[in-house]
C-alpha cells in the first residue's frame, strides 16, 4: 500500500467518527412507561392449625446391646468327649452343651467310698467299746504274769541265800535277779493293758476317727462335684455364638469351650443430650421401634424401661449413655441392630400446637409456615411466621411460635407455599379440615 492510499483511509476514518458523535448527541424520544396493574393473587391450599394433648416424649436413635455374653470354660482338666450344639442354635437354660470324660473321676470316687467304709467300721468299733472276751483274756494274762512273779521272787530269794553262803556264783545270782525284775515288769504291763481295756477307747481316738470319716466324705463330695462339672450346661436361654473346642481336645481348667448370648431380654443404648439428662430416671417408660424395610413391612414396637443411666458423658457431644431394657419375644431383635427409642418422662401432658407437615417450609436459614388472614375487604394475605418443629403425630407436626403470630384454628398454606413473597395476596382454592 502506497502513501496516497494511506491518506485516503485516514480521511474516511475521520469522517466516520464525526458522524457517530453527531448521532450520539441528538435527543432520543423516551417512550411512556406503563403503570403496573394490581398483583394477581397466588392460588394456594390451606389447612387449620390444631391443639392436641401431647405426651412429652424424647425420641432418639439407639443401638441394641446383648443382655449378657459369656464364654463357658472348662472347670476340670479333662478330654472333650462330645459336643451337643451347633453355632447359631437356640438353647434353653440347663441344656448340656459339652461333655468331658469322667471315667478317671468315677474310679477315684469308688476308691474314696471304700476308704470311707473302712474308717466308718473303725469308728463303730471304738464307739462300741472293748468286748468282754478281750477283757477276760487280759485278766487271765495278768494272772499268769503275777504267778510268774511269785516264781521268780522265790528263785531270787533262794539264790540270794546261796550267794551269801558262797555256794552260788555272782553270775547265777544276777541272772535270777534279772528274771525276777522281768517278770515284775511284765505283770505291770499287763495290769496297765487290762486297765485300759476296762476303761474303753479314749475320746481323742473317737474324735480322730470321726474327723477321718468327715475327710473321706468330703473327698467323695469333691469328686462328685468334679463329675458334675464335667458337663457344661447353658447358664441361660440364648444362642450359641461360637464353638471354642472340638471333640477329643484336652481342656485345662479355664480353657474356653463355647460362647453364648442371652436374647430373651436386650438393651437399647441411646446417647441422651445433656438438656434431657435430668428428665430421665431409672424406670422411665419407653417404646422401642424396629423400622420395617420394603413394601408391606410395618414397624415393630416393643415395650421397655430405662434401667441404666451413666453419669459420665462424652465431652465432645455432651451426651450421656442411657440403656433401656427390651423384652424380646421370639427373638425379633438382635444385638447390633439400629432402633428408634421413645422415652416418656414423668411430666404433665400439655396442649401443643400442631400444623400439617406440608405447611412447614425449611430453608438453610429458617423454618417457617405461611399464615393466611382475611382483611376487611375479604382479601386473603399470606404472612410468614418462624417456627420450631417438634414431635410428629401422623400427618401433623408440633410447632413452637410467637403466640401473637400463630394461634390455634388459623389457616396455614399447605400447597403453593414454596416460593411465596412476603405479605403476598393469595387465592384460597381449597380448604382442608
pLDDT number for residue 124? 85
Question: Rg of the chain's alpha carbons, rounded to an integer?
Answer: 55
Q: Look-up: residue for cell 411466621?
A: 385
Long-range contacts of 119-122 (CB under 8 A, 24+ apart): 119/209, 119/212, 119/213, 119/216, 120/213, 122/209, 122/212
CA distances for 165 relative to 161, 162, 170, 177, angstroms = 6, 5, 12, 17
Cell numbers representing residue 387 in the block: 417456627
**Higher-confidence residue: 329 or 92?**
92
pLDDT number for residue 376? 80
pLDDT at 51 over 70: yes
pLDDT at 21 over 80: no
Angle at the Cα of 430 (from 427 to 433), degrees rounded to 5?
130
**pLDDT tens profile 128-170:** 766 677 777 888 888 888 888 888 888 888 888 888 878 788 8
pLDDT number for residue 168? 81
At residue 178, the 3 state secondary structure works out as helix
pLDDT at 296 over 50: yes
DSSP β-ladder status, 424-432 and 319-327: unpaired
Tell me the CB-side half-sphere exposure of residue 180, using CA atoms within 13 A.
Answer: 17
At residue 259, the 3 state secondary structure works out as strand
Q: Look-up: residue for cell 481342656?
A: 251
pLDDT at 60 over 90: yes
pLDDT number for residue 295? 62
pLDDT number for residue 149? 87
Are 346 and 284 a contacting pair, CB within 8 Å? yes
194-198, 241-245, 346-350: which has the highest mean pLDDT? 241-245
pLDDT number for residue 55? 60
**pLDDT tens profile 326-382:** 988 888 899 999 999 999 887 656 778 999 999 999 998 899 999 999 888 788 989
Q: What is the mean pLDDT of residues 240-258?
A: 95
pLDDT number for residue 130? 66
DSSP state of 161: H
Residue 44 burial by Cβ neighbours in a 10 Å radius (0-12, 13-18, 19+): buried
- The answer to which of 47-51, 193-197, 373-377, 401-405 has the lowest mean pLDDT is 193-197
Query: What is the DSSP code string of 48-74?
Result: E-EEEEE---EEEEEEEEEEEEEEEE-
pLDDT, the chain, mean: 85
Amino acid at each position: 500500500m502506497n502513501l496516497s492510499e494511506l491518506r485516503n483511509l485516514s480521511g474516511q476514518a475521520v469522517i466516520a467518527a464525526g458522524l457517530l458523535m453527531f448521532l450520539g448527541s441528538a435527543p432520543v424520544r423516551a417512550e411512556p412507561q406503563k403503570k403496573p396493574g394490581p398483583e394477581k393473587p397466588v392460588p394456594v391450599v390451606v389447612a387449620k392449625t390444631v391443639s392436641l394433648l401431647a405426651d412429652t416424649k424424647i425420641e432418639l436413635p439407639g443401638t441394641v446391646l446383648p443382655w449378657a455374653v459369656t464364654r463357658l470354660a472348662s472347670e476340670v482338666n479333662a478330654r472333650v468327649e462330645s459336643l451337643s450344639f451347633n453355632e447359631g442354635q437356640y438353647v434353653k437354660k440347663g441344656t448340656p452343651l459339652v461333655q468331658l470324660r469322667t471315667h478317671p473321676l468315677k474310679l477315684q470316687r469308688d476308691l474314696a467310698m471304700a476308704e470311707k467304709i473302712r474308717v466308718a467300721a473303725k469308728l463303730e468299733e471304738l464307739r462300741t467299746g472293748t468286748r468282754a472276751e478281750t477283757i477276760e483274756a487280759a485278766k487271765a494274762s495278768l494272772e499268769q504274769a503275777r504267778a510268774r512273779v511269785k516264781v521268780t521272787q522265790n528263785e531270787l530269794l533262794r539264790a540270794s541265800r546261796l550267794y551269801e553262803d558262797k555256794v552260788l556264783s555272782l553270775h547265777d545270782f544276777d541272772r535270777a535277779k534279772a528274771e525276777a525284775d522281768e517278770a515284775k515288769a511284765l505283770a505291770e504291763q499287763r495290769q496297765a493293758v487290762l486297765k485300759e481295756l476296762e476303761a474303753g477307747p479314749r475320746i481323742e481316738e473317737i474324735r480322730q476317727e470321726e474327723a477321718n470319716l468327715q475327710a473321706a466324705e468330703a473327698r467323695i463330695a469333691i469328686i462328685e462335684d468334679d463329675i458334675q462339672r464335667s458337663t457344661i450346661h447353658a447358664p441361660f436361654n440364648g444362642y450359641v455364638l461360637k464353638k471354642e473346642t472340638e471333640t477329643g481336645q484336652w481342656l485345662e481348667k479355664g480353657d474356653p469351650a463355647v460362647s453364648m448370648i442371652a436374647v430373651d431380654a436386650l438393651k437399647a443404648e441411646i446417647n441422651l443430650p445433656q438438656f434431657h439428662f435430668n428428665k430421665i430416671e431409672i424406670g422411665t417408660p419407653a417404646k422401642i421401634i424396629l423400622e420395617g424395610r420394603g413394601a408391606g413391612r410395618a414397624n415393630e414396637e416393643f415395650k421397655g424401661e430405662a434401667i441404666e443411666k451413666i453419669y459420665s458423658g462424652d465431652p465432645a457431644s455432651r451426651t450421656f449413655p442411657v440403656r433401656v431394657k427390651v423384652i424380646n419375644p421370639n427373638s425379633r431383635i438382635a444385638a447390633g441392630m439400629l432402633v428408634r427409642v421413645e422415652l416418656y418422662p414423668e411430666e404433665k401432658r400439655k396442649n401443643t400446637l400442631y400444623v400439617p407437615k406440608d405447611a412447614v417450609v425449611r430453608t438453610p436459614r429458617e423454618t417457617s409456615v405461611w399464615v393466611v388472614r382475611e382483611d376487611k375487604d375479604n382479601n386473603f394475605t399470606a404472612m410468614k411466621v418462624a417456627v420450631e418443629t417438634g414431635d410428629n403425630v401422623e400427618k401433623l407436626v408440633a410447632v413452637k411460635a410467637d403466640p401473637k403470630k400463630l394461634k390455634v384454628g388459623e389457616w396455614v398454606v399447605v400447597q403453593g407455599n414454596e416460593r411465596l413473597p412476603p405479605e403476598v395476596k393469595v387465592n384460597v382454592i381449597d380448604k382442608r379440615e
